[in-house]
Amino acid sequence: MTRSSSFLTITTGLVLPVAALVALTAERARAQYAVFDADAATRAFHERVDSYAALHHRLAPPPPAMTSTDPISKLLSRNYLAAAIRGARRYAQQGEIFTPEVAMLFRWSLADSIGERDAETFLRELNGGEPMPRGMHPDVNEPYTMTPLYRIPQEVRLGLPPIPPELDYRIAAHDLVLWDIYAGVVVDFVPDALTSRVSTM
């Protein structure tokens, strides 16, 4: 065998495994993207959030107590509902409603809704021109007092899935929070939902 033919044999032997590895990597990447289904994630979110709303209705005090304008009555009703929800969801953790697929959907939706603004710029606008703190995540089933809970601007809210009237979307630092309005507790949250620009391509 000549030196040139030997070199050709070795080169061919190297090219084939490399080509196979590239093809396998591409196939795995396609499989990962193929698994994500935005419609399925949206359905899963609605199912879970509707289930929570049903629990809220079951545990809520009678309507007169919930609609009272007396500050003491309102506080007692809120504390009662919060305690009841905490007991019914004692094992709830982050991700029960915002599963990884649902969280991905929300990160994409927020990036689209914010538009050309950088996430940090958007958060500074909400926070009176000051940078938002990092690493201050809420606890599920608990109130949140570490930083302000900001309501999401209407033009951004329109890009998010509708939710039952007992709930609201809020922003706490860099997290998106699902907030129980009447119980005053965090139902679930997407950590670092507004940290960086998310590609939707």
Per-residue pLDDT at 6: 53
- 196 in any annotated domain: no
Instruction: Report whether pLDDT(89) > 90.
Output: yes
Instruction: Report whether pLDDT(200) > 50.
Output: no
pLDDT digits (tens, 9 = 90+) for 153-165: 999 999 999 999 9
| Alpha-carbon distance values, 175 to 48, 130, 143, 198 (Å) | 19, 16, 14, 14
Question: Which residue range is the domain that position 48 belongs to?
Answer: 39-190
Please indicate, yes or no, whether residues 21 and 56 belong to a single structural domain of this protein.
no
Q: Say what the pTM is.
A: 0.77
The total domain count for the chain is 2
Please indicate, yes or no, whether residues 50 and 119 belong to a single structural domain of this protein.
yes
Please indicate, yes or no, whether residues 43 and 17 belong to a single structural domain of this protein.
no
Q: Which residues contact 73 (CB under 8 A, 6 or more apart)?
A: 65
Per-residue pLDDT at 178: 98
Please indicate, yes or no, whether residues 77 and 127 belong to a single structural domain of this protein.
yes
Instruction: Report whether pLDDT(26) > 70.
Output: no
198 or 36: which leads in pLDDT? 36
